[in-house]
Amino acid sequence: ILLDKDGKRKHTRPTFSGQQIFALEKTFEQTKYLAGPERARLAYSLGMTESQVKVWFQNRRTKWRKKHAAEMATAKKKQDSETERLKGASENEDEDDDYNKPLDPNS
């Protein structure tokens, strides 16, 4: 037990084994939210408390949302630049059409 400078119990961060993290990640791939009985079953099978599993899933969802939002932003930027590129290409095609017209002998 760790104590802080005032002699009170210090909160320590739990460390999970590779096997626990693997099982948590595998479950997270299948479902992003666990109901009470599922959480209790998973916690028991991994030797964790229900609150540890609950918090792990909360943190993992936050990480997943941030990654998903970043991927969406990257895809939007890529789409916008592609749209601009195509828009510029079509403007250049109009200029090419003018360039390739036969010369008017009267001008």
What are the Cα distances from residue 44, in Å, to 17, 40, 49, 52, 70?
15, 6, 7, 11, 35
**Domain 18-75 carries which CATH code?**
1.10.10.60
Give me the tens of pLDDT residue by residue for the chain, a chain 107 residues long.
678 788 887 777 889 999 999 999 999 999 999 999 999 999 999 999 999 999 999 999 999 999 988 888 888 888 888 888 788 776 665 556 666 677 777 76
